[in-house]
Amino acid sequence: MMKTKRLGKTDLYLPVLGLGTVKIGRNEKVKYPEDFKIPDDEAVIELFNKAKSLGMNFIDTAPAYGSSESRLGSLLPGKREDWIIASKAGEEFIKGESAYDFSREHIIKSVKRSLKRLKTDYLDIVLIHSNGDDLNIINKDGALETLADLKKEGLIRASGMSTKTVDGGKRALELSDVVMVSYNPTDTECREVLEHAKDLNKGILIKKAFGSGHLCKDEKYTTEDIFKFIFHQAAVTSIVVGSINIKHLESNIIEANKAF
């Protein structure tokens, strides 16, 4: 079973490894080293059942992940409370291109659409899906304030931002519960964000632990090495990995438990 950790000051306890779901909804304009086929419903259900049986009940999705949210809503096994679901707002993937809208109106509309797609009346985590202009999204668009209002309404349990800059990550931590950042042995730019999260006792989710799959091809690093490197940062709550291969999923869970 997966080890778990509290997400900052929230009442959420996440497995130290979460399942990213880009690959069940979109295979256009992604940055993985190899092409892949989107798995059919049977394969997705089998993947979810295996993850659930091993305690990997944290699922990360987004409107920008194609059909991911809708498929999760239809295919996740068990009861809603069996799963911790994170989604995002701000980025759309339309006709093969990303489009961004961080206005209050759009974020509210996006979150309510995610609830319908996922067939639930609440989301455990919602992150602003940044285009890289982090500080303007926070300071001018007021995107994190919008999520805070949705949290007060009970539509979401924890809010934050998937950031792309150090300053944006640090500011988002000061105004929300959790930040998602890229971090791995070859990408340490956001170490300062992780240290700030530790000081504030806020949650950190890690994306691109394997460099979108490219580090898996680098013989200098084993999976356990990468996980140990990331978990060395005390603020890290969970690493989100996007496997659609059950053997890889099982292996990742074993290595994450050993490294944590």
What is the model's pLDDT at position 164? 97
Length of the chain: 260
pLDDT above 90 (res 32): no
State the pLDDT confidence band at 64, using cuts at 50, 70 and 90.
very high
Band of residue 212 on the pLDDT scale cut at 50, 70, 90: confident
pLDDT in tens, 94-106: 999 999 999 999 9
Q: Which of 35-39, 55-59, 189-193, 200-204 has the lowest mean pLDDT?
A: 35-39
Instruction: Tell me the pLDDT band of 3, cut-offs 50, 70 and 90.
Output: very high
With tokens 């291969």, the residue in question is 245
Domain boundaries, the chain: 4-259
What's residue 59's pLDDT? 98
pLDDT at position 34 is 79
Average pLDDT value over all residues in the chain: 96
- Which class is domain 4-259? alpha beta
Query: What was the pLDDT predicted at 1?
Result: 82
Token pair of 154, please?
Answer: 């009970």
What is the full DSSP assignment across the chain?
---EEE-TTSS-EEESEEEE-GGGT--SS---SS--PPP-HHHHHHHHHHHHHTT--EEE--TTSTTHHHHHHHH--S-GGG-EEEEEESEEEETTEEEE---HHHHHHHHHHHHHHHT-S-EEEEEEE--S-HHHHHHTS-HHHHHHHHHHTTSEEEEEEE-SSHHHHHHHHHHSSEEEEE-BTTB-TTHHHHHHHHHHT-EEEEE-TTTTTTGGG-TT--HHHHHHHHHTSTTEEEEEE----HHHHHHHHHHHHHH-
pLDDT per position as a tens digit, 106-131 = 999 999 999 999 999 999 999 999 99
User: Choosing from 65, 100, 183, 221, which is the catalytic residue?
Assistant: 65
What digits encode the pLDDT tens for the residues 222-244? 999 999 999 999 999 999 999 99
pLDDT score, position 215? 84
Of 168, 88, 164, the residue nearest 124 (C-alpha): 88
Of 79-83, 197-201, 220-224, least confident by mean pLDDT is 220-224
Average pLDDT, integer, range 18-36? 90
Q: Is 183 a catalytic residue?
A: no
Distance (Å, whole) CA 201 – CA 178: 10
Mean pLDDT for the stretch of residues 44-59: 97
Q: What is the mean pLDDT of residues 185-207?
A: 97
Cα 201–Cα 203–Cα 206 angle in degrees, nearest 5? 140
